């Protein structure tokens, strides 16, 4: 027996033999247990063995990895339910059309771009899904949501072309959207193709993280009884390079913690990104496996295609397994690029390995495919994934970038950028994929689709009909829902008397009212990234509960407090923790449920305004693209209103960052009634009129008495002004003064403006105070009128709203806000007279409000000074009056300039 022999006394040859016998014995024992007692017992023994070895002092290194082979062994491969040969032909035609679309676009319009190699690598991954898994919109509650890799779009278009959902005219105008004909956007954009695309995935990282929160939100809707439970899955397709985006992997623990078995990720591991290999010196699949396994996902590796199975079976010594372990991605890529000969020479590089391929030709070796190109392996993995319970699944599928492009790009570093093929290259592609196109036509890059009588067409249509119709498809299912009655908000028009309240408190009160509203109460989705207490919202914890799929498994530490931290399965709040990216993902899921599920959920996402636009701006852009509805509330807003926190927290620019998003309305309200008007109008516009817009409101934490509606205007006039961007809040009482001014105030700086109005009275200046609720709205309106007039030069010119509002007024115009001076400055040429802008340009400081407003020169003194100076500039006052004012107001003319300090 092996163990009775003393190895030390043996020679090298005998020792090796001994090793072999020993290994065989162990393996045979394992096989015996597996056969006679099953996998569970085998596992138990292995665990015991491991524990025993540890006890005896054998260090077992930690590894979250399994060997570099398929997770599912070949003997568990499923028999394929489809017609493999026919599916292959269909796939090839899609490959051709996808490629032809890009090549043709670039031929006709040099530099127009597009991607061939991404879809080329992903075709099997998509097509197995299309033929056997992805349930379309007619599947009702079982319909899937699919996040396609953005730059794989030509492949999706090409399939829709075969399905006759798209036509030649569309394909010809790929990336040419302004031809006045049917066209196709470069990437998935619901804004541009609202009946087709749902998820804006092309800014990499956004698709992955939003898919996780989407899957969780689908559960939320079910747990809260807003949607019938269904079998629909969320599938997300990612690039392996894309996983380097922090957003991609940043929330994967949420998916496992929440046991999201309705979520399936497919990572197309073609081992390359744009410039070169993702991990030339390592193995991206193994790296991802460890990450996902460590986080509690179900990981299915689809590394090797069926071609390798025979070799693996013959590998009794494990030499192939060992070789796989040593293989790094940079080397793998060479085999993809250089084929069978290279594989023979450099992969099978020992006598033992060469023995395995004895009698194999280079062509045979070239057929050793990768798992992600093998429909049976992909099908088996998908089937496992959809049946898996209790965990999200990630499929790591190994493919070749530019598959089928041959010498012109397959596996080459340049393949991502390959957009042109010459005639010879096209012929090679055609021959490889057996496309029925003649030599004399090929130079035209013709598209090809089977006739409706052809079996390819019948098959693919039958498959899609059985699975609920063509995808991608976006359908809006929700019915319009009337905004709450105006009476719900009536209290806000009356003011708070002497009681001081912040606009944040006002918001919380509005939210409370909506939560009690019959029609809307259940549809409100409050989303908070761990700041509820900062915003005074903790009462909501107890009142409506924090959503948790498992409820509350512990007795909260504050359970004897009436405002205790309550988690429950039907909780309404999404308390996301410190992840603005996660919270905005929930916002997008909740704000698009009107389309995805026909449910008018209305998200209110309240966050530290500083950590909004500048941190998650790209998500907000995508939210606009995806026609997301809802309210963003930038709280603790205002560079000088948020005292103490300093440079990193004080937001004085989110309103500028809100400008670029075309369908976002942005407001900086000062008063409770303004908030109420804006929120009700938002609900009306978004849910009653079903307009695809969303809202941003900044709310502050400064307490002051909230006024009632001004009386010099009718409530409707005030409302119109609030919504359009400005109205006269407080006219001057000094009707007879010669010196006049128009002061603009926004947010909490309004209080400074009102103080300045009084100070100016002391200088004999009659100042009217306007509340500017939205510089963005005023600016957009002005640009619209300007353009209209330019294009219709002989008609009566229209005037912008802001001009009309001010045209009969007199005096200098001075604007002050807690935001950049750019906001009023942008209006300058649309006003009857120039504006002097005061704002908070510069880095913040940790200080109290009064000092901050002095530092940024936006307090009542500086508004007064700016007004007097403007009057002096116009010759209405002596400069000496201004100097005197500087002295009287205790302003240091040599103080720091906040802009640069």
Ligand X SMILES: Cc1ncc(C[n+]2csc(CCOP(=O)(O)OP(=O)(O)O)c2C)c(N)n1
- Site for ligand X, rule CB under 6 A: 118, 121, 149, 151, 202-205, 239-242, 268, 270, 272-274, 278, 401, 416
Q: How far is the CB of 335 from Mg ion (least distance, A)?
A: 16
Q: Residue 695 forms beta bridges with which residues?
A: 631, 665
Contact partner, 877, from ligand X, Mg ion, none, Cβ < 5-8 Å per class: none
Contact partner, 274, from Mg ion, ligand X, none, Cβ < 5-8 Å per class: ligand X
In terms of CB distance, is 25 or 275 closer to Mg ion? Answer: 275
Contact partner, 202, from ligand X, Mg ion, none, Cβ < 5-8 Å per class: ligand X
In terms of CB distance, is 114 or 682 closer to ligand X? Answer: 114
Q: How far is the CB of 268 from Mg ion (least distance, A)?
A: 6
In terms of CB distance, is 421 or 754 closer to ligand X? Answer: 421
Furthest-apart CA atoms within the chain: distance in Å: 117
Q: Which stretch binds Mg ion (CB under 5 A): 216-224, 229-237, 264-272, 454-462?
A: 264-272
Buried b (16+ CB within 10 A) or exposed e, 236-259: bbbbbbbbebebbbbbbebbbebb
Q: How far is the CB of 399 from Mg ion (least distance, A)?
A: 8
Strand 726-730, strand 765-772: pairing: antiparallel
Q: Is 415 in the site for Mg ion (CB under 5 A)?
A: no
Strand 500-501, strand 704-705: pairing: antiparallel
Contact partner, 463, from Mg ion, ligand X, none, Cβ < 5-8 Å per class: none
In terms of CB distance, is 244 or 888 closer to ligand X? Answer: 244
Contact partner, 306, from ligand X, Mg ion, none, Cβ < 5-8 Å per class: none
Contact partner, 204, from Mg ion, ligand X, none, Cβ < 5-8 Å per class: ligand X
Q: How far is the CB of 368 from ligand X (least distance, A)?
A: 21
Contact partner, 242, from Mg ion, ligand X, none, Cβ < 5-8 Å per class: ligand X
Asked if residues 634 and 698 have their Cβ atoms less than 8 Å apart, the reply is: yes
Contact partner, 418, from Mg ion, ligand X, none, Cβ < 5-8 Å per class: none
Contact partner, 144, from Mg ion, ligand X, none, Cβ < 5-8 Å per class: none
Q: Which residue has the tokens 């073609």?
A: 270
Q: Is 277 in the site for Mg ion (CB under 5 A)?
A: no
DSSP letter string, 32-51: HHHHHHHHHHHHHHHHHHHH
Q: How far is the CB of 88 from Mg ion (least distance, A)?
A: 23
In terms of CB distance, is 155 or 811 closer to Mg ion? Answer: 155
In terms of CB distance, is 132 or 419 closer to Mg ion? Answer: 419
Q: How far is the CB of 274 from Mg ion (least distance, A)?
A: 9
Question: Judged by CB under 5 A, how many residues of this single chain contact Mg ion?
Answer: 5
Q: How far apart (Å, rounded) are the C-alpha atoms in residues 261 and 536?
A: 35
Ramachandran assignment for 147, one of left (phi > 0), alpha (psi -120 to 50 degrees), beta (any other):
beta
Both tokens of residue 887? 């002295």
Q: How far apart (Å, rounded) are the C-alpha atoms in residues 639 and 642?
A: 6
In terms of CB distance, is 278 or 863 closer to ligand X? Answer: 278
Q: How far is the CB of 268 from ligand X (least distance, A)?
A: 5
Neighbours of 556 (CB within 10 A): 14
Question: CA separation (Å) from 571 to 170, 578, 716?
Answer: 46, 19, 38
In terms of CB distance, is 417 or 873 closer to ligand X? Answer: 417
The contacts of residue 713 (CB under 8 Å, 6+ apart) are 721, 727, 728
Q: How far is the CB of 727 from ligand X (least distance, A)?
A: 41
Contact partner, 591, from ligand X, Mg ion, none, Cβ < 5-8 Å per class: none
Q: Which stretch binds Mg ion (CB under 5 A): 270-278, 834-842, 859-867, 887-895?
A: 270-278
In terms of CB distance, is 204 or 421 closer to Mg ion? Answer: 204
Both tokens of residue 87? 């599916």
Q: How far apart (Å, rounded) are the C-alpha atoms in residues 66 and 301?
A: 9
Asked if residues 641 and 700 have their Cβ atoms less than 8 Å apart, the reply is: yes
Q: Which residue has the tokens 């309103």?
A: 655
The DSSP call for residue 560 is T
The dihedral formed by the CA atoms of 306, 312, 314 and 320, expressed in degrees to the nearest 10: 140
In terms of CB distance, is 270 or 640 closer to ligand X? Answer: 270
The residues in 787-826 that bind Mg ion, with binding defined as CB under 5 A, are none
In terms of CB distance, is 278 or 813 closer to ligand X? Answer: 278
Strand 574-575, strand 765-772: pairing: unpaired
In terms of CB distance, is 273 or 830 closer to ligand X? Answer: 273
Q: How far is the CB of 77 from ligand X (least distance, A)?
A: 25
Cα–Cα nearest to 275, from 416, 118, 114, 405: 416
Q: Is 270 in the site for Mg ion (CB under 5 A)?
A: yes
Q: How far is the CB of 278 from ligand X (least distance, A)?
A: 6
Q: How far is the CB of 525 from Mg ion (least distance, A)?
A: 35
Contact partner, 203, from Mg ion, ligand X, none, Cβ < 5-8 Å per class: ligand X
Q: How far is the CB of 207 from ligand X (least distance, A)?
A: 10
Radius of gyration of the chain (CA): 33
Q: How far is the CB of 273 from ligand X (least distance, A)?
A: 4
Asked if residues 117 and 412 have their Cβ atoms less than 8 Å apart, the reply is: no
In terms of CB distance, is 397 or 872 closer to ligand X? Answer: 397
The residues in 229-248 that bind Mg ion, with binding defined as CB under 5 A, are 239-241
Question: CA separation (Å) from 887 to 861, 878, 891, 892, 895?
Answer: 11, 15, 6, 8, 13
Contact partner, 742, from Mg ion, ligand X, none, Cβ < 5-8 Å per class: none
Q: Residue 602 forms beta bridges with which residues?
A: 524
Q: Which residue is nearest to ligand X (CB)?
A: 239
Q: How far apart (Å, rounded) are the C-alpha atoms in residues 175 and 865?
A: 54
Q: How far apart (Å, rounded) are the C-alpha atoms in residues 860 and 854?
A: 9
Q: How far is the CB of 419 from ligand X (least distance, A)?
A: 13
> What stretches of 536-613 adopt beta strand conformation (E)?
546-547, 567-568, 574-575, 602-608
In terms of CB distance, is 283 or 869 closer to ligand X? Answer: 283
What are the φ/ψ torsions at residue 769 (nearest 5 degrees)?
A: -110, 125
Residues in the chain: 901
Residues that bind Mg ion (CB under 5 A): 239-241, 270, 272
């Amino acid at each position: 027996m092996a163990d009775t022999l003393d190895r030390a006394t043996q020679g090298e040859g005998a020792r090796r033999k001994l090793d072999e016998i020993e290994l065989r014995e162990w393996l045979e024992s394992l096989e015996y247990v597996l056969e006679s007692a099953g996998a569970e017992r085998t596992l138990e023994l292995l665990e015991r063995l491991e524990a025993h070895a540890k006890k005896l002092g054998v260090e077992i290194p930690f590894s979250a990895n399994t060997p570099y082979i398929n997770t599912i062994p070949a003997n568990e491969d499923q028999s394929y339910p489809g017609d493999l040969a026919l599916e292959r032909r269909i796939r090839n035609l899609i490959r051709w059309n996808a490629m032809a679309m890009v090549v043709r676009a670039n031929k006709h319009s040099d530099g127009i771009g597009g991607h061939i190699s991404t879809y080329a690598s992903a075709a099997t991954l998509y097509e197995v899904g299309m033929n056997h898994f992805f349930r379309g919109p007619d599947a009702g509650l079982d319909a899937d949501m699919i996040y396609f890799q953005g730059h794989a779009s030509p492949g999706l278009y090409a399939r829709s072309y075969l399905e006759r959902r798209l036509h030649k005219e569309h394909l010809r105008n790929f990336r040419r959207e302004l031809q006045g004909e049917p066209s196709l956007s470069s990437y998935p954009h619901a804004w541009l193709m609202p009946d087709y695309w749902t998820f804006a995935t092309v800014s990499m990282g956004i698709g992955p993280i939003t898919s996780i929160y989407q899957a969780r939100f689908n559960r939320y809707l079910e747990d809260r009884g807003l949607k019938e439970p269904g079998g629909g899955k969320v599938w997300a397709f990612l690039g392996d390079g894309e996983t380097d985006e922090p957003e991609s992997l940043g929330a994967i623990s949420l998916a496992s913690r929440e046991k999201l078995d309705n979520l399936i990720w497919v990572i197309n591991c073609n081992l390359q990104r744009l410039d070169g290999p993702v991990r030339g010196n390592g193995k991206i699949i193994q790296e991802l496996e460890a990450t996902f396994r460590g986080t509690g996902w179900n990981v299915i590796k689809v590394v090797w295609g069926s071609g390798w199975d025979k070799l693996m079976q013959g590998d009794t010594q494990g030499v192939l397994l060992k070789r796989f372990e040593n293989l790094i991605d940079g080397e793998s890529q060479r085999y993809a690029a250089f084929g069978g000969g290279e594989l023979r020479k450099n992969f099978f590089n020992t006598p033992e390995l060469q023995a395995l391929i004895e009698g194999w030709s280079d062509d045979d070796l070239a057929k050793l495919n990768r798992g992600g190109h093998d429909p049976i392996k992909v099908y088996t993995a998908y089937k496992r994934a959809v049946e898996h319970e209790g965990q999200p699944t990630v499929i790591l599928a190994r493919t070749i970038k530019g598959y089928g492009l041959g010498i012109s790009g397959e596996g080459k570093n340049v393949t991502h950028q390959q957009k042109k093929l010459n005639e010879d290259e096209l012929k090679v592609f055609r021959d490889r994929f057996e496309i029925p196109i003649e030599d004399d036509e090929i130079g035209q890059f013709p598209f090809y689709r089977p006739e409706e009588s052809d079996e390819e067409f019948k098959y693919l249509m039958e498959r899609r009909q059985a699975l609920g119709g063509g995808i991608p498809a976006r359908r809006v299912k929700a019915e319009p829902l009337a905004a709450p009655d105006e009476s719900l908000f009536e209290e806000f028009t009356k003011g708070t008397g002497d009681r001081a309240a912040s606009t944040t408190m006002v918001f919380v009160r509005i939210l409370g009212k909506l939560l009690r509203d019959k029609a809307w109460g259940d549809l409100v989705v409050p989303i908070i990234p761990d700041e509820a207490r900062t915003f005074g919202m903790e009462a909501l914890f107890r009142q409506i509960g924090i959503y948790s799929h498992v409820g509350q498994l512990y007795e909260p530490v504050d359970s004897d407090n009436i405002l205790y931290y309550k988690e429950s399965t039907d909780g309404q709040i999404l308390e996301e923790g410190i992840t603005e990216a996660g919270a905005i993902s929930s916002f997008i899921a909740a704000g698009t449920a009107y389309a995805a599920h026909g449910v008018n959920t209305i998200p209110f996402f309240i966050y530290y305004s500083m950590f909004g636009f500048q941190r998650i701006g790209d998500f907000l852009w995508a939210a606009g693209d995806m026609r997301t509805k809802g309210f963003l509330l930038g709280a603790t807003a205002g560079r000088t209103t948020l005292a103490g926190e300093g440079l990193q927290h004080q937001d004085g620019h989110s309103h500028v960052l809100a400008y670029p998003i075309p369908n976002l309305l942005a407001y900086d309200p000062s008063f409770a009634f303004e908030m109420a008007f804006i929120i009700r109008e938002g609900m009306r516009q978004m849910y009653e009129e079903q307009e695809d817009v969303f809202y941003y409101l900044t709310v502050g934490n400064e307490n002051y008495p909230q006024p009632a509606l001004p009386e010099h205007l009718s409530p409707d006039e005030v409302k119109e002004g609030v919504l359009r961007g400005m109205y006269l809040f407080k006219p001057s009482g000094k009707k007879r003064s010669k010196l006049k001014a128009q002061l603009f105030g926004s947010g909490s700086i309004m209080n400074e403006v009102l103080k300045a109005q009084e100070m100016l009275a002391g200088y004999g200046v009659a100042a009217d105070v306007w509340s500017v609720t939205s510089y963005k709205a005023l600016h957009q309106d002005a640009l619209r009128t300007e353009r209209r007039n330019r294009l219709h030069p002989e008609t009566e010119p229209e005037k912008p709203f802001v001009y009309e509002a001010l045209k009969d007024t007199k005096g200098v115009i001075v604007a002050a806000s807690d935001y950049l001076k750019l906001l009023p400055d942008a209006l300058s040429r649309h006003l009857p007279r120039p504006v002097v802008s005061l704002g908070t340009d510069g880095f913040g400081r940790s200080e109290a409000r009064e000092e901050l407003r002095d530092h940024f020169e936006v307090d009542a003194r500086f508004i007064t000074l700016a007004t007097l100076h403007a009057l002096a500039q116009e010759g209405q006052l002596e400069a000496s009056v201004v100097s005197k004012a500087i002295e009287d107001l205790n302003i240091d003319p040599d103080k720091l300039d906040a802009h640069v300090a």
